[in-house]
């Protein structure tokens, strides 16, 4: 079995908040972990965002069959801005549901297909990531959560 890379430690932390109080437990970390420690959430935000979208759909606040270029009900904004940073191929044909199902044909952040070659000698590192905490959430998730509270 390969030894864990100290730069990428493994471990588990869980905080459960319920009406009667809260519970926090952690294991497997070399450094102290508390309920305020920040973790890289990565693709887990897709699950949270999809849950929020489905709640909005269930409450009639949006329709998952709308195109991502449609106007958000009750606003003058579109789901995806008309902006050079959102130059997604065929975005006028993509629905919210297709995005949630990963069937919209949208590639990575730069809208690039998988590169011709990938070097395995350099470990995967990501910069500028979102750390989910009570103080900092991705703008999309934050907007959806505020909208759910309305």
Q: 5-45 pLDDT, tens per residue? A: 666 667 778 888 888 998 888 888 777 887 787 777 777 88
Residue 149 burial (10 A CB sphere; 0-12, 13-18, 19+): exposed
pLDDT score recorded for residue 96 = 93
Residues 149 and 93 in one domain: yes
The reply to whether 118 falls in a domain is no
Residues 93 and 27 in one domain: no
The reply to whether 121 falls in a domain is no
pLDDT score recorded for residue 65 = 96
| Number of separate domains in the chain | 2
pTM of the model: 0.55
Residues 69 and 137 in one domain: yes
Q: How far is CA 28 from CA 33, 36, 71, in A?
A: 10, 17, 46
Cβ proximity of 130 and 41 under 8 Å: yes
Residues 56 and 73 in one domain: yes
pLDDT score recorded for residue 124 = 43
Residues 21 and 93 in one domain: no
Residues 68 and 137 in one domain: yes
Q: 46-90: per-residue pLDDT in tens?
A: 888 899 999 999 999 999 999 999 998 888 999 888 888 788 888
Residues 68 and 92 in one domain: yes
The whole domain housing 58 covers 41-112+131-150
pLDDT score recorded for residue 112 = 52
Residues 17 and 85 in one domain: no
Residues 31 and 84 in one domain: no
pLDDT score recorded for residue 132 = 38
> Residues 6 or more apart from 86 whose CB is under 8 A from it?
80
Residues 73 and 139 in one domain: yes
Q: 87-122: per-residue pLDDT in tens?
A: 888 889 999 999 888 888 776 655 455 555 544 444
pLDDT score recorded for residue 63 = 94
pLDDT at 128 > cutoff 60 = no
The reply to whether 4 falls in a domain is no
Residues 51 and 93 in one domain: yes
> Residues 6 or more apart from 7 whose CB is under 8 A from it?
123
Pairing between β-strand 12-18 and β-strand 21-27 as defined by DSSP bridges: antiparallel
């Amino acid at each position: 079995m390969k030894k864990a890379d100290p730069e990428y430690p493994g471990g588990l932390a869980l905080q459960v908040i319920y009406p009667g109080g809260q519970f926090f437990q952690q294991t497997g970390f070399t450094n102290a972990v508390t309920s305020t420690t920040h973790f890289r959430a990565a693709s887990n935000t897709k699950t949270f965002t999809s849950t929020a979208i489905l709640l909005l759909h269930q409450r009639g606040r949006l329709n998952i069959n709308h195109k991502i270029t449609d106007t958000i009900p009750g606003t003058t904004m579109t789901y995806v801005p008309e902006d050079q940073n959102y130059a997604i191929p065929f975005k006028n044909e993509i629905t919210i549901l297709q995005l949630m199902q990963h069937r919209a044909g949208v590639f990575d952040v730069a809208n690039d297909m998988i590169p011709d070659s990938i070097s395995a000698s350099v470990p995967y590192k990501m910069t500028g990531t979102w750390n989910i905490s009570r103080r900092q959430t991705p703008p999309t998730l934050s907007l959806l959560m505020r909208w759910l509270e309305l």
